[in-house]
């Protein structure tokens, strides 16, 4: 039975262009929609929306499919950006791509596509969707280097049932090749990197527009003052750059890394050495868990987890207490950061995930102070 209209999200990049190309070769009706999620403003700096929109229009014209455009900047601000800033103010490190997917690309976009008569939507994400035994599953992409299931873990059954990912079984070089062969205007366009609304700008400069600088001190875990910083919310665990700690006579020459933050006192803690024990965690607590099938398989189970994008999945045991997940890793994990996502997998299947609240690292909470950290370090050696 023929399917109804598919609305493909055309971003002006090569991935969404090839997704549209592949779908245009089928027999089902197709249209493209460009989503503008950020407004250009002199105060906010440059935005690529106009260039990307022109490229999206050109792709749809090349493929002979209708083009639509919608401005979702208000929804993005209310549902994604305000949360992003609030998390940084609280000393956490948020992941706006997860919220953007859940609230904008697979909710607002889906609603607008349906209003235009679309039966399903498509995007250029690298992931796969399968229906097994009546359940929709999110699977890792064939291209492990481009797999984006980590950012899609907050989706559910209704979104997956109405979505197609044409690139899920493809490698990126093949995508580029198809774009070139089809003479798509985006075939040589550079991939976008980082957070969309920040672009190529320094994140500290960008955050400074919304969170005023407030100078504080940089300490070693034993309380020795070693420098100053412009605000602890500008730093994340494991960060190396931006500390401004020069050569010290008592230094061993290794780089300095952020190992903790005391937000209430505006103190950043740093140590030397990438493999410092102050950065190591064996366990974390995640909250606001989303299970893609709706429910977990058990209250305790073995699986793998990722605590950052492109990390190799790590073996762990998950124990559920209410809607929190206590995760115990087989091997120590470096720089587990509150506010980031912990995403769970069974093989190639993404089970879901949640937001990291804390870890068992000495400074595993953003409100940890030196006394709490010292107790945690003592407990880890007991």
Q: Give the integer Cα–Cα distance in Å for 319 and 28.
A: 45
266 and 124 in a common domain: no
Mean pLDDT value of segment 92-121: 96
pLDDT confidence band for 275 (50 / 70 / 90): confident
67 and 175 in a common domain: yes
Domain of residue 308, residue span? 279-368+376-381
What pLDDT score does 202 carry? 74
Mean pLDDT value of segment 47-56: 86
- Asked whether residue 379 carries a pLDDT value surpassing 80, the answer given is no
232 and 166 in a common domain: no
Q: Of 160, 181, 202, which residue sits at a domain end?
A: 181
Annotate 181-197 with DSSP letters as a single string. Answer: HTT-TTTTPPPP-S-TT
Percent residues over pLDDT 90 in the chain: 80
- Asked whether residue 109 carries a pLDDT value surpassing 80, the answer given is yes
291 and 233 in a common domain: no
- Structural domain includes residue 191: no
90 and 43 in a common domain: yes
265 and 308 in a common domain: no
36 and 169 in a common domain: yes
- Asked whether residue 371 carries a pLDDT value surpassing 80, the answer given is no
What pLDDT score does 1 carry? 45
pLDDT confidence band for 380 (50 / 70 / 90): low
84 and 33 in a common domain: yes
Q: Of 249, 272, 295, which residue sits at a domain end?
A: 272
What pLDDT score does 50 carry? 86
pLDDT tens, position by position, 182-236: 999 999 998 876 666 666 667 788 888 899 999 999 999 999 999 999 999 999 9
- Of 47 and 283, more confident: 283
**Strands 225-229 vs 216-219: parallel, antiparallel or unpaired:** antiparallel
Quote the pTM value. 0.92
Question: Is-contact 65 20, C-beta < 8 A?
Answer: yes
- Structural domain includes residue 134: yes
pLDDT tens, position by position, 166-186: 999 999 999 999 999 999 999
- Structural domain includes residue 130: yes
Percent residues over pLDDT 70 in the chain: 89
CATH number of the domain where residue 234 is located: 2.30.30.280
- Asked whether residue 382 carries a pLDDT value surpassing 70, the answer given is no
Mean pLDDT value of segment 351-364: 96
pLDDT confidence band for 32 (50 / 70 / 90): very high
CATH number of the domain where residue 104 is located: 3.40.50.620
246 and 292 in a common domain: no
pLDDT confidence band for 81 (50 / 70 / 90): very high
265 and 320 in a common domain: no
218 and 170 in a common domain: no
Count Cβ atoms within 10 A of the Cβ of residue 227 and give its class: 0-12 exposed, 13-18 middle, 19 or more buried: middle
- Structural domain includes residue 192: no
- Structural domain includes residue 197: no
Lowest mean pLDDT among 14-18, 68-72, 86-90, 251-255: 251-255
Q: Of 162, 181, 200, which residue sits at a domain end?
A: 181
Query: Which residues belong to the active site?
Result: 100, 196
Annotate 101-133 with DSSP letters as a single string. Answer: IIIIIIIIHHHHHHHTTEEEEE---S-EEEEET
Q: Give the integer Cα–Cα distance in Å for 9 and 24.
A: 13
Lowest mean pLDDT among 48-52, 187-191, 314-318: 48-52
Q: How many domains does the chain have?
A: 3
């Amino acid at each position: 039975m023929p399917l109804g209209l598919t609305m493909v999200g055309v971003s002006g990049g090569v991935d969404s262009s090839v997704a549209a190309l592949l779908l245009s070769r089928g027999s089902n009706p197709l249209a493209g929609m460009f989503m503008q999620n950020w407004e250009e403003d002199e105060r906010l700096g440059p935005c690529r929306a106009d260039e990307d929109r022109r490229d999206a229009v050109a792709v749809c014209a090349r493929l002979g499919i209708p083009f639509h455009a919608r401005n979702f900047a208000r929804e993005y601000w209310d549902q994604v950006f305000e949360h992003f800033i609030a998390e940084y103010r609280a000393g956490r490190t948020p992941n706006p791509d997860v919220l953007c997917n859940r609230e904008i690309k697979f909710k607002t976009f889906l609603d607008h596509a349906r209003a235009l008569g679309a039966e399903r939507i498509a995007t250029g994400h690298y992931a796969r969707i399968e229906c097994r035994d009546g359940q929709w599953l999110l699977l890792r992409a064939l291209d492990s280097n481009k797999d984006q299931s980590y950012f899609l873990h907050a989706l559910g059954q209704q979104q997956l049932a109405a979505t197609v990912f044409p690139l899920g079984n493809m490698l990126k070089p093949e995508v580029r090749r198809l774009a070139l062969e089809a003479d798509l205007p985006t075939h040589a366009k550079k991939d976008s990197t980082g957070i969309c609304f920040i672009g190529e700008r320094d994140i500290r400069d960008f955050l400074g527009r919304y969170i005023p600088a407030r100078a504080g001190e940089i300490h070693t875990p034993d309380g020795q003052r070693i420098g100053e910083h412009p605000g602890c919310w500008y730093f994340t665990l494991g960060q190396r750059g931006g500390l401004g700690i020069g050569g010290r006579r008592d230094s061993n020459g290794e780089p300095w890394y952020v190992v903790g933050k005391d937000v209430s006192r505006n103190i950043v803690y740093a140590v030397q050495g990438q493999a410092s024990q102050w950065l190591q965690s064996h366990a974390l607590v995640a909250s606001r868990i989303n299970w893609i099938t709706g429910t977990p398989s058990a209250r305790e189970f073995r699986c793998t987890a990722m605590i950052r994008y492109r990390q190799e999945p790590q073996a762990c045991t998950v124990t559920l207490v209410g809607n929190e997940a206590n995760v115990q890793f087989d091997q120590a994990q470096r720089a587990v950061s509150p506010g980031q996502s912990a995403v769970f997998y069974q093989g190639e299947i993404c089970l879901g995930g949640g937001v990291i609240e804390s870890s068992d690292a000495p400074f595993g909470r953003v409100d940890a102070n030196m006394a709490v950290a010292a107790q945690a370090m003592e407990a880890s050696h007991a």
